[in-house]
Structure 1
Amino acid sequence: MSLQDLHGLLSNLQRNPGIPLDLDWVDSIRVNRSAAERRAATLPARRTVKKKYQAAWLLRAIACMDLTTLGGDDTPGTVRRLCAKARRPVRQEVLAALGAEQLGVRVGAVCVYHQMVPTAVEALQGSGIPVAAVAAGFPHGLSPFAQRLDEIRSSVAAGATEIDIVITRAHVLTGDWRALYDEIAAFREACGEAHLKTILATGELGTLTNVGKASAVAMMAGADFIKTSTGKETENATLPVGLVMARQIREYLDRTGYKVGYKPAGGIRTAKQSLDWLILMKEELGNEWLLPDLFRLGASSLLTDIERQLEHHATGRYAATHHQPMP
């Protein structure tokens, strides 16, 4: 399967319709932090990929990447340049040296604020690359509820086919699982046919047990993806958090038969880190979660380091960063 064939699979995946809130299930979730941290520490320590296999895995990481710009200084020009990069994330001469010029390498999606959705949709027309919009009062999730719903509907109307929402963290911190469930279910309804990626802001949830419970409730409410972070928190994606969320995805699949995607975001800046996340997905969830329909990496600066590693594999030399410019 070429990398280009990986795109568009999400529309063929049976969506998670959600299930009624099961408080007994939620109450049963307990996470041993020290055990989770020990298990997560084994991933980069004992699993590595080298040489041509590393290059192949890095190309897969690009295919699973949500190329993102969420700056207050975003302009239409910035977004158009980002979309051009999304279409051709690796220079053609590097792909040719790797024997990968026919793979149709491109990213999993482009993620922008609502105001930039029409620009991104226009710039990506015909590419098959979806546009994702952050919504629901991103990044804090504290704007009026009706306003958050309107923002989701407006982004969908503007052409976004994926919506990254943020939850009200207070619902988790106070254990109000019914309120969290109802909030996410309303967001899912507002998304319509667009896929819902639910950001838990795990660095603000206090405990790994809360992360596990929030993950389960989000999936019960109909999330298509669960996502770690906005990228704006002090602590973003970590492997112990990833382990907890991945195991909740597996538990949900075992109980319901529905597959839910996973997206770590924030602080993932190096090619080595992207490999660690791919290894986590493969070991905990299997090969299906190495495809963009079920796995995304939220990233803005990650692509530059992956390009440098690919060029080193192809030529034996590390190129200067400005040879792989980002918008």
Structure 2
Amino acid sequence: MKPSLRKVLISGGRGLIGMRLSEMLIDAGYEVAHLSRQTGRGHYCSFRWDPSAGQIDEAAIGYADFIVNLAGASVSDEKWSEERKHEIMSSRVGGTNLLARELRERPHHVKAFISASAIGIYGDADDRMLTEETPPAPADDFLADVATQWERAAQQVQDLGIRTVITRIGIVLSDEGGALPSIARPVKLMAGAALGSGRQYMSWVHIDDLCRLLIQMMEEPEWQGTYNAVSPHPVTNKEFTSTLADVLHRPLVLPKVPEFGLKLLMGEMSEIVLASQRVSAQKVMEQGFKFEHPHLREALESFYQREEG
């Protein structure tokens, strides 16, 4: 990578993935700026934007050699009211549309556009192995519809002739946030249990592997198109829960949490934990990416063994 090509603009830079990616980019010698609704907070240079209003600092796009597009309201913070569903959709699609508009209309020197998507695009697929060639689930599946429209918005950047990489991200494992602390909390209290049937597949990725993958996609011009960002070894919910309990040295004493109970508690949002997605990492490995945390036990130990040390 030429030393001059070192400025990375991140949307969603203050989220879980964005903060870890920013740290790793700084360690690798890059300059990092965030797109944010509020500037002047945190350690990073930031440009103001408001995707819902279609507004962005005119200097933002001109700053960047690379753009990593991660912005999107959390799908798991609160129940899916119609208002919340609109926010989940518009935060992703609106932000990506805004970046595409700026790249279309302003002078820039952006070499690559790395845009997040999600494995939710595949819907509930039982135990079928899902590859990048698998068609998206129908639009009546909310998360699939969100991911499909998000990818369609990113395609506008590809159509401008800018190298575009779409990353379908699985369940991101981190002890700083996201799904893992929520799953680990009841296990630590000896109240952990598999969810629903426990047979549904969870396709996960260690946050450091994900960030290394995003950086490799950014740096190497061979990366183009759509890739699954998941570890090569998906597991069932039952296997995930029992491995986590083992790593935490806790017994699993409760029976499974029944599907109807989850639906009562979470509403439509229960599809996050009940949908089965067994997703292939073959394409990223064939492209030359090597996982540092390919197996679940070792990935979990990377977070929880240091608690004991």
Range of TM-score over shorter length: 0.3 to 0.5
How high is the TM-score relative to the length of structure 2?
0.33
Quick one: higher RCO (CA 8 Å, sep 6+), 1 or 2? 1
Q: Given the two structures, how large is their TM-score scaled by the length of structure 1?
A: 0.31
Q: Which of the pair is proportionally richer in helix?
A: 1
Structure with bigger strand share is: 2
